[in-house]
């Protein structure tokens, strides 16, 4: 891990995150709330949520897993990409209550600083981002892509990464990062 940079200033940490109890009281405030059980990153969560809650909003606002981002809320940018049973999906178009019993993986379950997934490491090494906002979605797509039937050429990777818009335009580095991991995986397989 490179750098001691803090993500939150001292004043932020004094403001407590919403407690589990406050969370439940809040959810109950909406009379239409329904009980929902979700399995996220290997953990089971029992929640009461509004049935309108998308998987994305549920992850962000109820489970505080904020690595999945909202960029368009209509399946048009890919920033919200998560894995459901190992397949990448746009969590903004999923109603959370329909995904009970499914294994949901978010970026937080892929790797954390100090224990990054090879794709995450490659994104850092190849500078495959700028602002970082679409990055978690890009990585969720890239990790899924490793086990999809995608040909070896850059052009194939570009096509299969086209559901993730990077407005900063770090596309060339994103492709380099993904290809570096695919090539080293292939080398390992061959070796």
Q: Which of 52, 151, 152, 185 binds other proteins (CB under 8 A)?
A: 52
Dist. CA 15–CA 18, nearest whole Å? 9
Both tokens assigned to 56 = 């994305």
63: helix, coil or strand? coil
Could you say whether residue 104 binds other proteins (CB under 8 A)? no
Subset of 125-184 contacting other proteins (CB under 8 A): 125, 127, 129-136, 139, 141, 144-145, 148-149, 155, 157-175
Q: Of the two residues 152 and 169, which places its CB atom closer to other proteins in the complex?
A: 169
For 99, the 3-state DSSP assignment is helix
Question: Any contact of residue 66 with other proteins (CB under 8 A)?
Answer: yes
Select the residue interacting with other proteins from 104, 120, 180, 181 (CB under 8 A): 120
> What is the rounded CA–CA span in Å between residue 21 and residue 3?
35
Select 104 or 165, whichever has its Cβ closest to other proteins.
165
In contact, 69 and 136? CB cutoff 8 Å: yes
CB of 24: closest distance to other proteins in angstroms? 12
The first and second tokens of residue 147, run together, are 């086990």
């Amino acid at each position: 891990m490179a750098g001691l940079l803090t993500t939150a200033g001292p004043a932020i940490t004094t403001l407590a995150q919403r407690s589990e109890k406050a969370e439940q009281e809040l959810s109950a405030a909406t009379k239409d709330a329904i009980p929902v059980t979700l399995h996220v990153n290997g953990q089971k969560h029992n929640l009461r949520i509004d049935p309108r809650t998308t998987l994305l909003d549920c992850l962000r606002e109820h489970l505080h897993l904020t690595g999945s981002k909202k960029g368009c809320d209509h399946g048009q940018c890919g920033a919200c990409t998560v894995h459901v049973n190992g397949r990448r999906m746009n969590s903004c178009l999923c109603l959370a209550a329909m995904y009970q019993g499914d294994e949901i993986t978010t970026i937080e379950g892929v790797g954390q600083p100090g224990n990054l997934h090879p794709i995450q490491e490659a994104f850092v090494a190849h500078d495959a981002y700028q602002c970082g906002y679409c990055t978690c979605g890009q990585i969720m797509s890239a990790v899924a892509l490793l086990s999809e039937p995608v040909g070896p050429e850059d052009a194939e990777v570009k096509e299969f990464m086209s559901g993730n818009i990077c407005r900063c335009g770090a596309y060339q580095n994103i492709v380099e990062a993904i290809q570096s991991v695919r090539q080293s995986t292939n080398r390992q397989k061959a070796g």
